[in-house]
Structures are given as structure tokens and as C-alpha cells.
Amino acid sequence: MLYRSAAIVAGAAAVAVAKPCSSVFPTSTSAPAPGPTVKVDVGFRPHYIVDQMAPGPLKEEMEACANMDFQPSDFVIGHRGGGTLQIPEHSLESNLAGQRMGSGVLECDVAFTSDLELVCRHSQCDLHYTTNILLIPDLAAKCTVPFTPAADGQPATATCCTSDITLAEFKTLCAKMEGFNASATTPEDFQHGTPAWRTDLYAAGCPKVLTHKEHIKLVDGMGLKFTPELKLPEVEMPFQGNYTQEMYAQQLIDEYREAGISPDRVWPQSFNYPDVLYWIDNEPEFGLQAVWLDETADDPANFPNSIAFLDTVKADGVQYLAPPLPYLVQSDNGTIVPSPYADRANELGLNIVAWTLERSPPLAQVREEGNYYYFTIQDAVHNDGDIFTLLDVLYRQIHIKQIFSDWSGTVTYYINCVGGV
């Protein structure tokens, strides 16, 4: 286990280095397909959230569902696999957890390797803090910015991109919990950084990284659906002189077609608006469910412009709009209510997909310190019981169609309970 302090598990670390990819899962290039028959198990966390809720009708409604027979639901999108709160993101294991906890749709964020193969990574240049690449000297040497130790008050740095390595090299990596130690003086120290409210408990061994093709095979075998996100390139395009943005957007769709996946099982997403228009124009069947990820109002001063732009989105034929949680809600004297942005999206008949639940510290801490996903409702949350308060406003008042969650079981519990499956 590579991410603990050497003092605690020196012996285990030595074993892990000797057998870097030992795992209970096969290491062949074709991911196993567990099949569609998994019984949904939401685990303990949703019950904890219900216990935390303030007394009232919603709590009573949620309590009454404690012993339900939970079903999977397309309402529940497994963000970066769906077990990301506690299991390394985009790993096989995170996807298995997402399936087990009832996600109907699993996410692969897509980036390309130096040999132009598509792999699942949250960003093109996150390998240094989501995998063990810096512990593999041959690959660490290929990083865009090699590891530089912290010194003279400057933080440790590294930048390792999927486009720095080949597909075959990518497949030798192990996924880890997202995070790094900015004070690190060695690559080993740099691996640490998991916040206390997450865990390294399920990062032991070698959590398995996935290619996009493996993800498709895996999720198809589960009988579930797909939401791939075309990540913004962090290299100059056209890459290598002739690999264009359009070729990249096309390749993503081609991999579903080659696998025989029906377009109605796929929600391709992008923050880059031209990608969404490309799919609508060039792949109309897949374009029907193309999702535009909006992050244009992170500066609240931009809300009026972002709301006005929704008319353009509608006119362009985009049918799915995916804003972050705080764009959709606001605090009315401590009560969570729909925002003008949500009202306008609904007036236009756009399908709203929200992101991302279960990605924040405990909400008692959020209330004190603030957090991106709660920046419009900081004073309206008190503890983790408000995860269901928020979700109820999103579902019953804003009528969102789907929501990304770092912990699928939480949303599966809610949507089964309210009869929305």
C-alpha cells in the first residue's frame, strides 16, 4: 500500500512495490464484465444521513424507506465511477461500487494518450495526483513537468498527462485517491493528501485504471448506461500536428458505435460548447442526449449572462444542461429554494442534470468554511442531513433528470424512497 506513511506500513509498501499491479481483479487489457444481476446495496451512509436530518415530514418520509428493496436508477450517475468518495476515482473498483450502490449511469471522463487512445481520467494532466506514476521512474521521467521537491517555501510540483505516455504505459499505473502533499520532498511523500473525511482504506493493492473501451465493455456487461465526458485538452490542438478537437470528439462517439451501443444509452458531455454542437451536427443520434456542462457563473457576477445564454443553448438544439449544484439553488433566509437560473432552464424545457453531490466535506464543516458546491446555500446547510434536504428541492421543485454523485448509494436511497425510479 503506497500511500501511507512509511513508518506505519513500511513492510506493506515494500510488497506493493515488488508487485505493483497485484489485485483481486484480472490485469488483462479486457476488463471483466460482472453482469447485470448485482443486487443493489446502498450501505450504511444513507441511513446516517437520515439520522442527521432535522425533524419534519421529509425525515419521516425518508425513515420509512429504511428497509426498501432498492432498485438501480438512471437518475443516479456514478461520478468518476460512483464510489469516488472513498474509492479511487475512475478505477474499476469505483465503477463496481457505483453499480453495487444502484447507479444506472456510470461516468468515464475521457482523455487521450500519446498514441491517441482514449482513457478514463478526470483531467488530461492529473496522473501525478490520481495515480502512482511518480513512483515509476521510467514513466515519471516522461511527465510534462517532472517531480520537483518542495523547497524554500515553494510547494512541490509535478504535471503528468495522459498524453505524456502510451496506452501500454498507462495500463501499468495504479489508481489512488485524489490528492497530494504540497510539502513533499520525495515522490513517496507526494502521494499523501487524502482528506480525513475520505479514506485510503480501499486504495490498497493496485486499483485498476480503465481505458474508455474497457469502460464501455464493463458498463455494457452490467446492463447499465454511459456518460463519457470529453475533457478539455491541456496540450495544444491539433495534437502532434494533425489530431484535431473534432477528431477527438468523433473518436469518443466511434468507440460506442464500434461496441454496438445504442445512442439512447449514452449521454456525451463537455464543458466546451463547440464539442456539444459538433455532436448535434455530426452525430445527431448521439447529439440528442449531448450534455453541455455549464461553469460560466462561478463568478456570481456572471449569473445574468449565464441565464441569458440559456436561450442560445435552447435555440441550438441542446437538450441537456448540466450546471453545478450552486447555480440551481439559493438560500431564502436559510431555506433552500430554486434559483432564477433553475427557473429559466425549466421555462425553456431543458433537461437539467446536476453535479456533484457527496463531493464536499461534512456539511457542518461546509457551513463554517464554505465550499464550491454550496456557495449559494452555505447558510442553509447545517449537517449531512441537509444532503437530502437539497436533493429533495432539486428533484421535487426543480425536476432535475439526473444527478452526479461521488457516492451512488445516497442518491439511490432517495430516488427509490420518493418513487422516482
Ligand X SMILES: *[C@@H]1O[C@H](CO)[C@@H](O)[C@H](O)[C@H]1NC(C)=O
Residue numbers at the binding site for ligand X (CB under 6 A) = 5, 181, 183-185, 189, 192, 242-243, 333-334
What whole-number distance in Å separates Cα of residue 134 and Cα of residue 149?
12
Find the shortest distance in angstroms from Cβ 72 to ligand X: 37
Find the shortest distance in angstroms from Cβ 335 to ligand X: 8
Q: What are phi and psi of 356, to 5 degrees?
A: -135, 130
Between residues 28 and 333, which has the closer beta carbon with respect to ligand X?
333
Between residues 117 and 294, which has the closer beta carbon with respect to ligand X?
117
Between residues 187 and 324, which has the closer beta carbon with respect to ligand X?
187
What whole-number distance in Å separates Cα of residue 346 and Cα of residue 69?
32
User: In this chain, which residue has its C-beta nearest to ligand X?
Assistant: 192
CB 240 within 8 A of CB 270: no
Helix axes of 92-100 and 212-222: crossing angle, nearest 10 degrees: 20
Burial of 379 (0-12, 13-18, 19+ CB in 10 A): exposed
Find the shortest distance in angstroms from Cβ 182 to ligand X: 8
Find the shortest distance in angstroms from Cβ 179 to ligand X: 9
Between residues 51 and 379, which has the closer beta carbon with respect to ligand X?
379
Find the shortest distance in angstroms from Cβ 236 to ligand X: 15
Between residues 243 and 309, which has the closer beta carbon with respect to ligand X?
243
Between residues 294 and 386, which has the closer beta carbon with respect to ligand X?
386
CB 293 within 8 A of CB 322: yes
Reading the block at residue 108, the C-alpha cell is 468515464
Find the shortest distance in angstroms from Cβ 255 to ligand X: 15
What whole-number distance in Å separates Cα of residue 170 and Cα of residue 181?
23
CB 176 within 8 A of CB 187: no
Q: What are phi and psi of 392, to 5 degrees?
A: -65, -40
Residue 49 identity (one-letter amino acid): I
Find the shortest distance in angstroms from Cβ 282 to ligand X: 17
Find the shortest distance in angstroms from Cβ 257 to ligand X: 18
Burial of 259 (0-12, 13-18, 19+ CB in 10 A): middle
Between residues 239 and 273, which has the closer beta carbon with respect to ligand X?
239
For 73, the enclosing helix (H) or strand (E) is strand 73-78
Between residues 304 and 334, which has the closer beta carbon with respect to ligand X?
334
Between residues 167 and 322, which has the closer beta carbon with respect to ligand X?
167
Longest dimension (CA), the chain: 61
What is the per-residue DSSP string for 236-276?
-SSBTTTB-HHHHHHHHHHHHHHTT--GGGB--EESSHHHH
Residue 67 CB partners (closer than 8 Å, separation 6+): none
Find the shortest distance in angstroms from Cβ 8 to ligand X: 10
What whole-number distance in Å separates Cα of residue 46 and Cα of residue 257?
37
**R_g of the chain computed on alpha carbons:** 21
Find the shortest distance in angstroms from Cβ 243 to ligand X: 5
For 100, the enclosing helix (H) or strand (E) is helix 92-100
